Amino acid sequence: MARLFSPRPPPSEDLFYETYYSLSQQYPLLLLLLVIVLVGLLALLAVAWASGRELASDPGFLTTMLCGLGGFSLLLSLASREQRLQRWTRPLSGLVWAALLALGLGFLFTGGVVSAWDQVSFFLFVIFTVYAMLPLGMRDAAAAGLASSLSHLLVLGLYLGLQPDSQPALLPQLAANAVLFLCGNVAGAYHKALMERALRATFREALSSLHSRRRLDTEKKHQEHLLLSILPAYLAREMKAEIMARLQAGQGSRPESTNNFHSLYVKRHQGVSVLYADIVGFTRLASECSPKELVLMLNELFGKFDQIAKEHECMRIKILGDCYYCVSGLPLSLPDHAINCVRMGLDMCRAIRKLRAATGVDINMRVGVHSGSVLCGVIGLQKWQYDVWSHDVTLANHMEASGVPGRVHITGATLALLAGAYAVEDAAMEHGDPYLRELGEPTYLVIDPRAEEEDEKGTAGRLLSSLEGPKMRPSLLMTRYLESWGAAKPFAHLSHVESPVSTSTPLPEKALSSFSPQWSLDRSRTPRGLDDELDTGDAKFFQVIEQLNSQKQWKQSEDFNPWTLYFREKEMEKEYRLSALPAFKYYAACTFLVFFSNFIIQMLVTNRPPALTITYSITFLLFFLLLFVCFSEHLTKCVLKGPKMLHWLPTLSVLVATRPGLRVALGTATILLVFSMAITSLVFLPAASNCPFRAPNVSFTASNLSWELPGSLPLISVPYSVHCCVLGFLSCSLFLHMSFELKLLLLLLWLAACCSLFLHSHAWLSDCLIARLYLGALDSSLLRPGVLKEPKLMGAISFFIFFFTLLVLARQNEYYCRLDFLWKKKLRQEQEETETMENLTRLLLENVLPAHVAPQFIGQNRRNEDLYHQSYECVCVLFASVPDFKEFYSESSINHEGLECLRLLNEIIADFDELLSKPKFSGVEKIKTICSTYMAATGLNATSGQDAQQDAEQSCSHLGTMVEFAVALGSKLDVINKHSFNNFRLRVGLNHGPVVAGVIGAQKPQYDIWGNTVNVASRMESTGVLGKIQVTEETACALQSLGYTCYSRGIIKVKGKGQLCTYFLNTDLTRTGPPSGTLG
């Protein structure tokens, strides 16, 4: 029970909660309370008139009734506008309570003789409704409830204490009244606490859902931006669907395909132009750079190229070291694709010329362009990179390789599409590329019309290099200059992901202030970041408030049936009815309080016959058994110390909380037990009319007659039986989660039983009490008391008022219980969807970046805005190619212009990728694929500087993993050969040493590694032999130390490296144990 009165949340949330509370729940309940009171007053007048009473003979009662009708009508008109209620909530609530109290006191002193049991039921109604139906806080409600109780007790105590002792003992009746009022206060406070707890939980869940939706929207946007930074939109949608299927089926799994092939996301496009560009002299410059300078330089250069590409409607495809290539005419066809590529090539050369002029660094740009058709898309399962394939792509690559630094080299196909837009000159073919020479087609160099203007301005542009060049390294000078270009950082849109949702975060100030002018928040108290949400949050805030409004229960809804409140989805209705209810034990405990109150009252006002005592003893035993079952889990420690045969007892409370059928049975039995014990005392009164006070010979002189019937209970127990029955009505309202239809059935049953008992079978007891009370009255007007002074009529009116009041509350409780369940379910669904989106974003990001790099770019883990770069001392780099695929690839109508050839390449790369999911290859990181070449590395997940602190053998132990991965690649290729009837062989090059890793490119962020180690590994593959793994001498020594056998190939010429002694790895043997003494 202590949890029901938990500490209040922060003031800002309280303010929003009070807004919601007033609007959604208390406002309609207040109106219904006023309507019930007005209808009750009219019904009271109707009963008085129908019973033949002369209203004019009792002016005090008539005046009270008319004042009550007028006053409550005025209050109803005042409360009928929500805005007025919001401004004057406490004053209006106070007026309603004061009017009810005044009405009760007026009824007390009108209509007949004042008795100690007078208007107890009405005051009980006032006390309970103060808690359950007035928009007051718990403290205000408790103060009003206690004031109502004390006013009745004090007024009657003082008034009757001064009267002659002609009535039964006053003290027991006042004590019984005090017990009734105390029970009413506790039941009301309990009802209010449970409802406020449920409403606050619903409100918080609604806010959490609102924030969860915002977060979900943010995640969707980030995921969309991320996916579009890797792939074109048309391809992103298709691949996103497959990723979602993988997430649902189990992370990392792949949906089964009926044709045993991996999904192929490649399409053919005609009428495109391909541009290849290479930075001449960059390799030498990069060798002088620090890791940070290298990554910054590449990001700025390629960021500038991305900007140029965007200006000229070109799509960057990939970055290969210092090589950049893009396509115009993808994904949508463009008529000017050739002109776009040529313009872009000229702008790239112009940018490099400006860079060279400003810094004095000797670099240049070589560009090749060709127009034709391409196959474009993504192959493989990991590290997706949008790529293009075709003979035309190969030709464009050779156009760049055979081009002239600072010029754009184009083919005749591209020249034909330029339509004279640019002047060209023939390219000298004496030293041309063998591939181009074999084609025998002329090529051309584009003349830049702005080159002469730039030459004239070249002298002024050398100012930076002349002033700072001699003092600084060329790489540092170039880095300083490139920083002025201001290229965007990779994944910039992911660096400010919203923080996790906090349920205590206030909603927009505008939304709240729009409800009431006096309610506005101080900006200084508004949490950081809220200002940005004000404009976007208001509409959603209003939607949430509207959905929480209890008036919505009577309107058409997608979720509820407006009449039965059943969920429209049968599965949701079933889930709601089968949901666990841990609070059931508190319902039972509070019901026991009502039962105990009835017991005390009957012990106070009866002569405690033995039969009544025995009946209550049995009932107490049943109640204690019920409470033991409900609270048995709290006795676990005690039970476990006892015999083993009793260890099952703590599970009883779990069964009650989780089994709805058992809960309904126990709840119904508990309420029926309270019902039956409320009227037990009447069982011991005679059923036949035998009232001695109605005899003709009884006169005023018999006023000393006893208040007890001969051989029976005191007559004064009759009105208190009525009050006990009213407490029986209240016991129904204590089971908040009991279904409305069951409450309606029980309330109807109890109403019918009480009315038949007091208006029919035992109505004579009320008449007998009145006869005894008005015995010897001289005033004829007092021979028949007012309606509310006659126990049977007072009881019937009280029963109907409580019946309708509790029915309204039951409907309201049912709606909020279902609404709470609905919001919890929605919140769970949205959290699951958000989690799925976050997992999708993480998968996408890890598909671009290594797993240890991806967290650097996600949300609050982003420490700063610097470019990511990392240097490593020992990384093993692998290049594995399938050279035979170039011969295999052809373009004809039979193979759909090369599409079927790419399908086979996709199978090869996808099977290679599947190896990465094996635990023993968890340290292998795929870098990229370049046509039929697969690039991977190990040692990238080591902490920077960690390798330098370890000995060489331990720091390079991952070389063995790479060798085993290379062998596994060959085995995979053999399996593919077997199924495809091909004879592809793998050519592998390995090298290890220091590298620099980083992420570059804002338009299409890409993780890559650079350094001499990478270049040499590539040369080891390109100069290798089919079926062999070629390594450098240093790598061969390291592998020998790990137990592998290498043999010398000899001295070979390596482009850019001169003469190198290389070795082949003996792949027929695995580790041979102790290291061999020789390499050969």
Cis amide leading into 719 (omega within 30)? no
Residue 122 · residue 102 · CB < 8 Å: no
Residue 573 · residue 821 · CB < 8 Å: no
Q: Is 237 helix (H, G, I), strand (E, B) or coil?
A: helix
SS3 readout for 808-850: HHHHHHHHHHHHHHHHHHHHHHHHHHHHHHHHHHHHHHHHHCC
Residue 223 · residue 834 · CB < 8 Å: no
SS3 readout for 24-45: HHHHHHHHHHHHHHHHHHHHHH
Report CA-CA distances (Å) from 702 to 170, 691, 693, 706, 781: 21, 14, 9, 9, 21
DSSP 8-state assignment for residue 335: T
- Strand partners for 935: 879, 928
**Six token digits for residue 813:** 């409780």
Runs of H (alpha helix) within 231-335: 233-249, 282-286, 291-311
Neighbour tally for 538: CB within 10 Å: 17
CA dihedral 189, 190, 192, 197 (to 10 degrees): 130
**Six token digits for residue 30:** 């207040």
* Selection from 552, 522, 570 nearest residue 206 by Cα: 552
Terminus-to-terminus CA distance in the chain, angstroms? 83
Cis amide leading into 172 (omega within 30)? no
* Selection from 8, 137, 17 nearest residue 506 by Cα: 17
Concatenated DSSP letters of 882-906: -THHHHH----TTTTTTHHHHHHHH
Neighbour tally for 733: CB within 10 Å: 24
Query: With 0-12 CB in 10 A as exposed, 13-18 as middle and 19+ as buried, what is 332?
Result: exposed
Residue 972 · residue 1011 · CB < 8 Å: no
* Separation of alpha carbons 38 and 29, rounded Å: 14
**Six token digits for residue 875:** 């990384």
Neighbour tally for 627: CB within 10 Å: 16
Concatenated DSSP letters of 609-663: -HHHHHHHHHHHHHHHHHHHHHTGGGGHHHHHTS-GGGTTTTHHHHHHHH-HHHH
Which residue in the block uniquely carries the two structure tokens 């609270």?
A: 631
Amino acid at 977: N
* Separation of alpha carbons 260 and 252, rounded Å: 17
> Counting runs of H as helices and runs of E as strands, what totals does the chain give?
38, 16
* Separation of alpha carbons 101 and 104, rounded Å: 5
Report CA-CA distances (Å) from 230 to 48, 236, 1001, 1005: 84, 8, 11, 8
* Separation of alpha carbons 794 and 802, rounded Å: 12
* Selection from 364, 274, 280 nearest residue 318 by Cα: 274
- Strand partners for 1050: 1062
* Separation of alpha carbons 58 and 55, rounded Å: 6
- Strand partners for 148: none
Active site residues: 1019, 1055
